[in-house]
Structure 1
Amino acid sequence: PTERSNIWLDCRYSFDYKTNCHLGTCLTYASHLRPSPLRSLLPPGLQGCRRFISPTVNHSTLLLEPDSQRLWARCFLYCGSSQIVLSGASQEYFSHRSVFNADRFLFCFLQTECFNHIRLLQRFNATHLYMCGTHAFRPLCAFIDEQTFKMSSPPEDGKDKCPYSPSTGYTGLIIDQQIYTATQYEFRSFPDIRRNSPSPTLKTEDAPTRWLNEADFVGSALVRESTNSLMGDDDKIYLFFTERTEEQTAAYSSSRVARVARVCKGDRGGHRTLQKRWTSFLKARLVCSLREFDFHFNMLRSVFVLPAASPDRTLFFGIFGLEWKNVKASAVCRFSLSEVQEAFQGPYMETQDSGSKWKEYSGKIPDPRPGTCITDSLRAKDINVSTSLPDEVLDFVRRHPLMSQQVQPTDRRPLLFRRTTDYTQLAVQVAEAVDGQAYHVLYLGTDDGWLHKAVHVEGQLHIIEEQQLFEEPQPVSAVLLSTQQMSVYVSSPSGVLQLPLSYCQRYLSCYDCVFSRDPHCAWDGDNCVDIWALTNRSSLIQDIQQGSRGCENFHPDVAEKSRSVRVGDDVLLQCELASNLASSVWTQDGRDLQGYGLSSGFRTGTDGLLIIDAKPDQTGLYACYAQENDIRVPIVTYNITIQEATSTGRPQAPPPAPQLPTSNFLSSQNMEALYLTLITILGGVCIVLTVVLLYVGFCLRTGNRGKYSLRDAAAAYPSHKKVNKNRRHRNSAHMELKTISSHCNGYANGGPKHHNGDVQNGGFLQIVPGEGNTTSNRDSPPPAPPLPPTPNSPPPDECDFPNGLAATLPSMLRRINGNSYVLLRQSDSANTSPNGYSFTDELNKILEKRKHTQILPRPDESSV
C-alpha cells in the first residue's frame, strides 16, 4: 500500500414541468430537436485514428498548446506534427513519494481513489507548468519544468487549490500567474471560489447569506472585456456550476438549478466590510428548457466557451441533463455573453423569512452599482480599487448575490435534444464553408464512448456522424480541438485518442458528400475532399443549408442484377442504404409500388423488398432508390423473370438427366429376379438364426437345472450367522434347498457320469420357496436320528446308501421350515435301490420317521 500511494500518477429530484406535460409528450412534440446521426461508424471503420492506451484510470485533465503543437496529459507529453502527435516519445513519470497512515489508505482504497488524480494542469509561465493532484486525499501542487518534465521544487500543500476527492466538481485557471479555483476544498467545508497568492487571497461569503449552496462546478473561463472597452472595464472570470436552489418561487420549484457566476479579475476585497472576500460576486440562473411545456433541464454537465473578436460576442455552449439519474436525456443550449451581462445589470433578489423565501428587490440600489468592476467612471470618483468602495455598497453585495433575471438561451430553445443519450463533454469549432459563411461545428462525447459531430444550421443541429470510439463502453472525459493540426483529441479513463476533424474520403458519391452537410467536405467532380487545404473553392460543390443542391448532373453507378423465380416462390430484393436518414423507395417498370402489404404481394423492410407468392404479372424491372432531402438516388436494379406454371398446375420439371448406357443385365426382368433371390437368401438366414437362438435358449434352461450344491450352500452360510434375529431366520427359511442330486451308481445330478468326469445334468429333487409362516421356534429343530445301518452293509460311504439318499436326504429336509413346497422328480424310473425298494418307498420311510422325531408346535401346509 505504501509503495502504491507514493507514486505520483494521474489515474486522477425532481422534474421541473407542469402537471399537464408528461415526459413522453414533451419529448414527442420536440421531435424537430432530436435529429438522428446521418452515419454510424464502428471502431473498425475509424480511419485516421491514433490511440494512446494507458493502464491508469483517469485522463480527464488535458492541456493543449496549439502554438507549440503539444498536448499535455497526465504524466505524458505528446508533441510533433499532426502525423506523429501520439507516436512521439513520452517523458518520464512525474513521481513523488508520500507517507500516510493505514487508516487513510484504507479509506481511499475502499473508494478506489488512492491514485493521484490530476485536477489542475495549466501553464504558469514560459518555462514552467503548474500541476495539482488529489494525492490520495492529501492534495499537493508542484511546478514542472517544461524541458525536463520534472519538479523544479519540492511540492507544496494544495488543500486551498485542489479538492480532496477526484469526483468533486472542480474548475481552475491560471491568469497572469494568479491561480483561480472553485470547488469544495475539504470534506465538510462549503464550496468556495478562491484566488490564491501571489495576489491577495479572496473567498466567497457564507454569512449572513451563503453565496454558494452545495455548488458543483463544471467549468470557468476568462473573458478579456477590457479589450477595446470604451468605459475602461476590467477582465472577468465566469464560473459555471449547478447548486441547490434558493428561490423556491411559484414559477419554478426545482431542487437544483444551473448557474453562472462572475468575479472581476482586479478585485481586491473590501476595506472593513468583505475583507478578503469578493466584492464583485454575482450569480444568475441559466435556463435550458422547452418553453412550450415549461420543461427544464437543470443539471449542467459541461460548458465550452467560444471566444470571438469582440468580447460581447463570446458564446457559451452547455450540456444540460435531468435531475433523475435513471432517465437518459441531454440538451445542448447556447448562450451569449451579452445575455449574461444583461442579467447582471438587472434587478436583484432578496430574502424574506430568514432566507426561506426570495423575491425581487424593489428598493433603492446604492451607487456605485453593487457587483460592478472598477471602470473609468469609478476612477473619476477616486475609486481606483475595490477597497475604496463604500460600506453601504459592500453590505448590499453581501446580502444580494443573486440576480432576478434569468439567462435565456439564444433562439429561446435548445439547439439539440437527445432522449436516450447522455452527453458528457463538448467542444466547438468555427468552420468556414464554400459559401463563405461560418458554421459552428460541435463535437459531443457521450457517457458510453461515442463521439457525435454536428453542425448548427438555422437554429438547429444536424448530426453529421456518430463514431464509436471504444469496444467497451466508457465515458468521454474531455474533448479538445486543434485547428492547426486539424485534429480532435478525446480522453477517457483508458487513454487518449486523436481523430481527424473530418474524413471526407468516406463519402463515395456526390450525393453522399452533399447530403452530409459537413462544412469541411465538398465535391470536386471526382471525389469528396477536405476544403481547408484548398485555396480555390469556386468549382467545389457543397450545400450546408439544405443538403440537396449541386449534384443534378451527377449520375451514380447503379448495380444491375437479374433473377429468375417460379410462380408461388418468395424472393427478397436487397437494398442497402448508407445513410440513417434515407428511406428506400421501390419502383416496378418505372412506377412506384404502392400499398406494401400481404394483400398487395409486396412487403418492405430494412433488408429490402420481399415479393410474396410470386405471380406472372410481377415480372419486370425493379429499382431501389434512397430518398433523402426530397432527392432520389438510384441504388440497385433487379430484372425479375417469373416462369409460368405447367398445364398440370405443377412447377415446370427440370430437364431430364442424361440416360445411362443400356445393358441386358440391367433389364427389368433380370433386376426382378435379382431382387427375389436376395429376399429369399435373407429369409433363409433369418430362419436359421431363429432356430439357433431357440436351441441356445433351451440348452440354457436345461443346463440351469440341478446346479444347487448342499455343501456350497452350507459354506456360503457360515455357522456364526445362523443365530440371528427373527427376520434373518425367517428369510433363510424360505428356501434352503433347491436341488438334491444323486451321486451314486454312476449318476451325478440326476444323470450318468462319463468316464472323463463330466456329469450329465438332471436333478430329481427341487424345493420351491413358498409364502408360509415360519415356526415360532427360534432355534433350529433338533436333528433327526440317523437310520440304522443295514446288516452286512459296507462302511457309511455316500455311494453305499440306498439311492444315495440315506445320509443326505434327512439332513436336508429337516432344514425346511414354513409353508414350502417340495417337488420330487425321479430322473430315471428304472433306477431303484439294490435292496428292491423303490425311490418312493425309501422316501416315505424317511419322512415317516422324521414326523415322529420332530413335532412342530403348529402344523404347516407343506405338500410333498
Structure 2
Amino acid sequence: MILLLVLCLWGPSLLTARAVMDSTARKTVTLSSNEGHLFREEGVWNYSSILLREDLGLLILGAREVIFALDLANITDKRAMVKWQVTRDMQVKCSYKGKNLETECQNYIRILHKMSDGRMYVCGTNAFNPACDYMSYKDGKLTLENKQEDGKGKCPFDPFQRYASELVGDVLFSATSINFLGSEPVLMRSSTESIRTDFKSSWLNEPNFIGMEHIAEREQSPEGDDDKMYLFFSETAVEYDSYSKLEVSRVARVCENDMGGQRTLQRKWTSFVKARLDCPVPDSSLPFLIQDVFRFCPGKWDTCVFYAVFTPPSRTSPYSAVCAYSIEDIRLVFSEGKFKTPVPVETSFVKWVMYSGDLPFPRPGACINNDARQKGYSQSMDLPDKTLQFIKDRPLMDQAVQPISDLPLLVRKGAAFTRIVVASATALDGSSHSVMFIGTEKGSVLKAVNYDGETVIIEEVQLFNLSEPVKILRLSNSTGQLYAGSEVAAAQMPLSSCGHYKSCLDCVLARNPYCGWDLTAEYCTAVSSTRPDTPSDVVQSLREGNASRCPSIKNSTALNMTFHPGNTIKLLCQPGSNFAQVQWLKDQQPLVSSEDFQIKSDGLLILNASAETSGLYSCSSVESSKSQQYVIHNVAYELRLGSGRAGQWEDTSRLLPQVQKNQHIVVALQTVVVLLSLTLVALVLWNVYKGHFSFLPRCFSRGQEAEVGQDSVPLEASADKASGEGRNSNNNHNRRAEEKDCVT
C-alpha cells in the first residue's frame, strides 16, 4: 500500500525528471593543492559549530568543551581559546542516566551567535543538561562571562541530535527537544514572551530539524506583512495511512511577532503552518529527505532561493540530490493553498484529506497585515477562536512545495551529500552565477554551477579523510573563503583558486566562473582581478566551454630513454581531467592495449621490450566540450635500444623523477641479491670446512676422522686403538694418511 501511494504521489515527477545522473567532477584535487589550510588541536574533537566574525577578522570555532578564535584569513593562526568543561560530578550524573561517560557526557558547543552589542551567545549540551552563556573577545582573549542560563529548548540535550537556531535582534529562535528523552520537540522563541509549538503529532511528529532561515518580508511589503521564520525538517508523515512509518521533508513557517492566542493557543504559535517539500529523484520509490538548507538572496527578500541537499531514507538509493525552492513558491502555498484536515474512518485510524469548506477570517496561519488591521485585528491575541482552533487542528497544507523547474539541480551517485552553501560569482561578461559548494560524507566538497539547466561539477576538493563527513559549511564573501568542520579538524579553502589550471585549455574547459585565461600573462587568473579596460585579453566560456581562442600548444621535448631486450618499461602520463581520455601514439600511429602494450590510468606499460619497441611515444589528453574535441599534449618519450649494461639510462637529468626512482630501486634490489648470494656461498664453504655436512668425504673436514679405505690404514694402528697414547699416535698418523690420500 505504501509503495502504491508513493508512486501515485511522485510518479509524474519521476517520469518527467531529466536530472543528470552519475555526475562526475571534472577535477579531483587535494586541499593543499587548492591553497587551503587545515586546523586541528591535539585531544580536541567535533569541530561542528562556526561563527564568522568578519568585523573582528575571526572565525569562532566551537568543538567539544573548547572554543577557538582563529584568524579568518588563515585558520592555522590560533588567536585565542577558552575551555568550557563539565565537572566530574556532572559526568557521573550523566552516566547514571544511561549515557556514555566518554562520548556523550561532555559539553559539545552547539550554538554560536553574534549579539547586537558585539558579544556572543554560546550554548552547549553540558553533559545532557544544556546551558547557555555570554562570551566576548577583547585584547586578544576569549572570555566566558559565567552568566549561565538554562538551555532547555534552546540547545539539544543529545550532542548527536540535529537542531536549528537563529538569533534575530537578540531574540533566539530554536528548534530542538525540550526534554532529556528527546520526546518533546519544539519550535520556540525565547524572549520575555516565549512562544512554542503545541505537543501534538499533527504539529511535529518525530522531527529531525535541519535548518532555520529568517526572511525580512516586512521590508517593502505592500500588504504590511510581518517578518517570517522558515523551518526546514523531516518527520514521520501523519497524512499517509501506511503500515510502516514514512518520513517526508517539510518546510514550516511562523510570524516573527506572533504573541500567541488570548484563550486558544495561549503562549503557542498561532501562525505555525507546514507543507511537504518535494525533491523528485528518478528511480526512487521513497521520497528523499532533506539534510541541509542554505538561503541565497541575490536581491531583496522576494528574490530569495532556498538550496537544499537530499539523501534517500536509510540508504535505499545510492544517489543524492540538490533542489532549489523560490520564496515566492513557498509563500503561495501557505497564503493561497488548501489545508488538509483529519477525518476519522471506520477502521479506527485518522485519514487526512483536503479541506474543502470555507475558511474563517482572518486566514488561519496568516500574519497580521494591513487587511487584518483594518478589520480590528492588530495582534495575534486579537484573533478569533474560530481561526485559532482551525490552525490548531489543521497546520498541514494539502499542496506540496515543488522545486524550481520541478526538477533537481543535481543528482549524483556516490558519497551522500551532507551540507551546502551557495556563493555568487560574476563572470567576465558581467553575468552572475550561483556556485554551489556541497559537502559529502567522505570529507570532500563539490564545486558545482548550473548553466541554463546543465549542472557542471567543476571540481571535487578533498578536505578531510575519506571516513570524516563534512559536518558544517560556512562561507565568507569578504575574504572569498569557504570554511568546513568535521569530527577531527576544520578546513579553509578559497572560493576561486585558479592557480592549479596550468594551460589555457585546462582553464577554459573547467567552465569555472571565478577563472579565466590571461592571454598576455599566460596564466589562469581570477576574473575579479582582471582590469576592466582589457577584458579581451582574458578567455572565459562558461555555457559553451569553447576554448578555440586558446593558442596552440607546442609539443613537449621528448625524454630520451635507453632500454634492452626483455625489459619492462613504464611511461608515465596522467590525463588532464576526469573528463579526458588518454591517447598514446607510437611514431604518430595510435596505440591500443595488447599483449605487449597495456594502457593504464597513469601511463603506458611496455612488456618484454624488443628492437621493435624503439621509437617516439607521445601521450595526449583528449577532452570533449559541446561536441568539440580539444587535445592537450602531455609528454613524449624517445625509446632507443641500448648497447651497454641492461637497465642503463641516458641523459638521466632529463627523466621524470618517478622513472629515476624506479630505476634506483631496481639497482638497489640487484645489489641486495648479489650480497645475499655471496653470504650464502660463504656460509656453505664454512660449514664444509667444519665438516657439518656428513654426506661429504671426511677428507674435506679438518680435525675429524676420515673414513678412507682399509688398505690405507697401517695394521698396527688398529691394534693400538685401546690405549689413549696409541689412539693419539694413530690419529696423527691417520690424518697424515688422509691428507696424503686427499692430495692423491
Which TM-score bucket, shorter chain as reference?
0.7 to 0.9
Instruction: Answer yes or no: is the 8 Å Cα contact 1:38–1:463 preserved in 2.
Output: yes
Q: Secondary structure at the match of 1:272?
A: coil
Structure 2 match to 1:227: 219
What is the correspondence of 1:15-414 to structure 2 with a 5 Å cutoff? 32-42=20-30, 45-74=33-62, 75-78=66-69, 80=71, 82=73, 84-94=74-84, 99-100=89-90, 102-106=92-96, 107-110=98-101, 112-147=103-138, 149-152=142-145, 154-188=147-181, 189-198=183-192, 200-207=193-200, 210-248=202-240, 255-290=246-281, 293=283, 295-325=285-315, 328-344=318-334, 345-353=336-344, 356-414=350-408
Give aligned pairs, total: 649
Q: Which amino acid letter does the alignment assign opposite residue 69 of structure 2?
A: Y
Instruction: Answer yes or no: is the 8 Å Cα contact 1:34–1:416 preserved in 2.
Output: no
Of 416, 429, 451, which aligns to 2:423?
429
- Cα deviations by residue, 1:637-663 (Å, 9 ceiling, x for unpaired): 4556799xxxxxxxxxxxxxxxxxxxx
Change (3 A) 1:602 1:368: same
Q: Which amino acid letter does the alignment assign opposite residue 291 of structure 2?
A: R
Change (3 A) 1:516 1:692: same
Q: Provide the rounded CA distance (Å) in 2 between the counterparts of 1:755 and 1:572.
A: 73
TM-score scaled by length of structure 2: 0.78
Worse-matched range after superposition: 512-521 or 584-593: 584-593
Change (3 A) 1:482 1:556: farther
Worse-matched range after superposition: 160-169 or 550-559: 550-559
Q: Provide the rounded CA distance (Å) in 1 between the counterparts of 2:5 and 2:413.
A: 16
Q: Provide the rounded CA distance (Å) in 2 between the counterparts of 1:408 and 1:472.
A: 33
Instruction: Answer yes or no: is the 8 Å Cα contact 1:15–1:324 preserved in 2.
Output: no
Structure 2 match to 1:693: 707
Structure whose CA Rg is larger? 1
Q: Provide the rounded CA distance (Å) in 1 between the counterparts of 2:448 and 2:722.
A: 110
Structure 1 match to 2:450: 456
Change (3 A) 1:329 1:689: closer
Change (3 A) 1:206 1:642: same
Change (3 A) 1:754 1:511: closer
Change (3 A) 1:151 1:621: closer
Change (3 A) 1:105 1:755: closer
> Greater strand percent: which structure?
2
Q: Provide the rounded CA distance (Å) in 2 between the counterparts of 1:435 and 1:495.
A: 38
TM-score scaled by length of structure 1: 0.68
Instruction: Answer yes or no: is the 8 Å Cα contact 1:510–1:554 preserved in 2.
Output: no
Structure 1 match to 2:474: 480
Change (3 A) 1:602 1:389: same
Q: Provide the rounded CA distance (Å) in 2 between the counterparts of 1:581 and 1:295.
A: 31
Worse-matched range after superposition: 625-634 or 141-150: 141-150
How far does residue 607 in structure 1 lie from its aligned partner after superposition?
A: 3.9
Q: Provide the rounded CA distance (Å) in 1 between the counterparts of 2:428 and 2:299.
A: 22
Structure 1 match to 2:582: 584
- Cα deviations by residue, 1:167-206 (Å, 9 ceiling, x for unpaired): 12211111112111111121343211111222x1212123
Instruction: Answer yes or no: is the 8 Å Cα contact 2:251–2:276 preserved in 1.
Output: yes
Instruction: Answer yes or no: is the 8 Å Cα contact 1:481–1:487 preserved in 2.
Output: yes
Instruction: Answer yes or no: is the 8 Å Cα contact 2:61–2:70 preserved in 1.
Output: no
Change (3 A) 1:702 1:756: closer
Q: Secondary structure at the match of 1:276?
A: coil
| Stretches of structure 1 lacking an aligned partner (at least 5 in a row) | 1-12, 21-25, 644-684, 705-749, 762-864
Q: Which amino acid letter does the alignment assign opposite residue 45 of structure 2?
A: V
What is the correspondence of 1:760-771 to structure 2 with a 5 Å cutoff? none
Q: Secondary structure at the match of 1:339?
A: helix
Instruction: Answer yes or no: is the 8 Å Cα contact 1:54–1:494 preserved in 2.
Output: no
Structure 2 match to 1:777: none
- Cα deviations by residue, 1:283-319 (Å, 9 ceiling, x for unpaired): 111111225x464542221111112312122111111
Change (3 A) 1:583 1:93: same
Q: Which amino acid letter does the alignment assign opposite residue 53 of structure 1?
A: E
Structure 2 match to 1:635: 634
Structure 2 match to 1:660: none
- Cα deviations by residue, 1:143-184 (Å, 9 ceiling, x for unpaired): 223436333353122223222111122111111121111111
Instruction: Answer yes or no: is the 8 Å Cα contact 2:125–2:155 preserved in 1.
Output: yes
Instruction: Answer yes or no: is the 8 Å Cα contact 1:511–1:551 preserved in 2.
Output: no
Structure 2 match to 1:415: 409
Change (3 A) 1:370 1:237: same
Q: Provide the rounded CA distance (Å) in 1 between the counterparts of 2:318 and 2:508.
A: 32
Q: Which amino acid letter does the alignment assign opposite residue 122 of structure 1?
A: H
How far does residue 498 in structure 1 lie from its aligned partner after superposition?
A: 2.1
Change (3 A) 1:602 1:153: closer
Q: Which amino acid letter does the alignment assign opposite residue 129 of structure 2?
A: R
Which of the pair has the greater relative contact order for Cα pairs under 8 Å at 6+ separation? 2
Structure 2 match to 1:533: 529
Change (3 A) 1:46 1:364: same
Instruction: Answer yes or no: is the 8 Å Cα contact 2:48–2:487 preserved in 1.
Output: yes
Q: Provide the rounded CA distance (Å) in 2 between the counterparts of 1:701 and 1:216.
A: 108
How far does residue 464 in structure 1 lie from its aligned partner after superposition?
A: 1.8
How far does residue 461 in structure 1 lie from its aligned partner after superposition?
A: 2.8
Instruction: Answer yes or no: is the 8 Å Cα contact 2:340–2:352 preserved in 1.
Output: yes
Q: Provide the rounded CA distance (Å) in 2 between the counterparts of 1:331 and 1:702.
A: 105
Worse-matched range after superposition: 532-541 or 329-338: 532-541
Q: Secondary structure at the match of 1:694?
A: coil
Instruction: Answer yes or no: is the 8 Å Cα contact 1:184–1:191 preserved in 2.
Output: yes
Structure 1 match to 2:543: 545
Identity, % of aligned positions:
31
Q: Provide the rounded CA distance (Å) in 2 between the counterparts of 1:754 and 1:37.
A: 95
Structure 2 match to 1:818: none
Change (3 A) 1:561 1:70: closer
- Cα deviations by residue, 1:573-613 (Å, 9 ceiling, x for unpaired): 543213111012345665656xx4549x8654424456788
Instruction: Answer yes or no: is the 8 Å Cα contact 1:16–1:253 preserved in 2.
Output: no
Instruction: Answer yes or no: is the 8 Å Cα contact 2:698–2:707 preserved in 1.
Output: no
Instruction: Answer yes or no: is the 8 Å Cα contact 1:411–1:459 preserved in 2.
Output: no
Instruction: Answer yes or no: is the 8 Å Cα contact 1:289–1:296 preserved in 2.
Output: no
Q: Which amino acid letter does the alignment assign opposite residue 575 of structure 2?
A: L
Structure 1 match to 2:512: 518
How far does residue 322 in structure 1 lie from its aligned partner after superposition?
A: 1.2
Q: Provide the rounded CA distance (Å) in 1 between the counterparts of 2:727 and 2:88.
A: 99
How far does residue 37 in structure 1 lie from its aligned partner after superposition?
A: 1.6
Q: Provide the rounded CA distance (Å) in 1 between the counterparts of 2:711 and 2:53.
A: 100
How far does residue 56 in structure 1 lie from its aligned partner after superposition?
A: 2.0
How far does residue 87 in structure 1 lie from its aligned partner after superposition?
A: 1.1
